Amino acid sequence: MFIFDSHCDTPSQIYRGRDVCIDNAYAHVDFPKMERGGVGAAFFALYTPAERTQPEAALYVQRMIAGVRDAVRRSNGRVRLGAHPSEVPGNQADGCMTVFLGMENASPIGESLALLRWFARMGVRYITLTHNGDNAVADSAADGSHWNGLSPFGRRAVAEMNRLGIMADVSHASDKTFWDCLEVSEKPIIASHSSCRALCGHRRNLTDEMLQALGEKGGYVGINLYPSFLRDDFGKRPEEAALLDEADRVEGAFIADPSDPDAQSAWIRMQERLKTLRRPDVRDVVDHIDRAVRFAGIDHVGIGTDYDGICVPPAGLETIADLPVVFDEMRRRGYDEKAVSQVAGGNLLRVFNEIVSC
């Protein structure tokens, strides 16, 4: 079975010093874990925080791209950096995994179509229009107060992404941005790492109406594994909320200076503490798959784990090596092998091919 994860935040971890060629004790994603999980391909998302200026964000993304390329070169042929989805079958036949580049947050391009074209040449194959803040392209789900959806430049940028074969990704976008992007884009759009708002009311999730519209236009949604997007009750007890707030501070200190052994040790200890929280599990993940299939259709649903970008995963899905349990649960619920294979990776590969090629 071919597994294709539409969103891993691993480039940020590489930038902080993780060697993804070896099996790391405290990591959601590295190449050995991908192999153990049977993951044939993954999008590595080049995430930039909303607070960075455009020049800072552009430089940071280029450094992350360099880090991913270096890691692939050091993989001894186990991994290849993909430029087009058509490369996947050949890589699989050669026993190689494929890593594709996505960009999470369009702020590195500022208001420049030339920079958009540059990042396309660097191998970026989707752009998540926003993160947790509005930018020059669009309003985000976390703010959503600047443009009332896509900006005038954002409309031009989506059209240029269509021309370049870059997928427009509406995860993190405001509701109005979602609808604007669906209207403006002549090609299907994706939500690389989003879940279902009917099951968990977070503003980052998609409504049933959005899921249906996404499917009708031929798009794709990758179900996100972050517990806060799976269940409304996650982290709501006072002691749990306090632990999550403490975790944000500890992780922030580690991000600020990843070379500090004390900061790194503190973050490792915190990850062990976070595992004591009442967490959603594989059943909750497949509940969201069920809902997305109901409204978007079986041809338009996949997995976008958000691994390495979440502080704690669902119970039993500690790393990317555990992904097969999701598909085992689907089988237990009566999905046939064709449907399981579609959600595991076939749908993403097909939509990716359609958007890049049409």
pLDDT band with cut points at 50, 70 and 90 for residue 158: very high
Please provide residue 119's backbone torsions phi and psi, each rounded to the nearest 5 degrees: -65, -30
User: Residue 281: which residues within 8 A CB-CB, separation 6 or more?
Assistant: 314, 315, 316, 317
**Residue 143: predicted pLDDT:** 83
CA-nearest of 123, 121, 295 to 205 is 295
Structural domain spans, the chain: 3-234+279-357, 236-278
pLDDT band with cut points at 50, 70 and 90 for residue 144: confident
The answer to whether residue 330 scores a pLDDT higher than 80 is yes
pLDDT tens by residue, 57-90: 999 999 999 999 999 999 999 999 999 999 999 9
The answer to whether residue 358 scores a pLDDT higher than 70 is no
Share of the chain above pLDDT 70, in %: 100
Give the mean model confidence (pLDDT) for residues 106-118.
97
**Residue 357: predicted pLDDT:** 77
Q: Average pLDDT over the chain, rounded to whole?
A: 96
Give the Cα separation of 207 and 51 in Å (integer). 28
Please provide residue 47's backbone torsions phi and psi, each rounded to the nearest 5 degrees: -90, 135
- Which H or E run contains 190? strand 190-191
Mean pLDDT lowest among 4-8, 216-220, 236-240: 236-240
Share of the chain above pLDDT 90, in %: 96
**Residue 294: predicted pLDDT:** 98
The answer to whether residue 161 scores a pLDDT higher than 90 is yes
The answer to whether residue 276 scores a pLDDT higher than 70 is yes
Overall pTM surpassing 0.85 (yes/no): yes
Give the mean model confidence (pLDDT) for residues 260-269.
92
CATH superfamily, region 3-234+279-357: Metal-dependent hydrolases (3.20.20.140)
pLDDT tens by residue, 7-43: 999 999 999 999 999 999 999 999 999 999 999 999 9
**Residue 28: predicted pLDDT:** 97
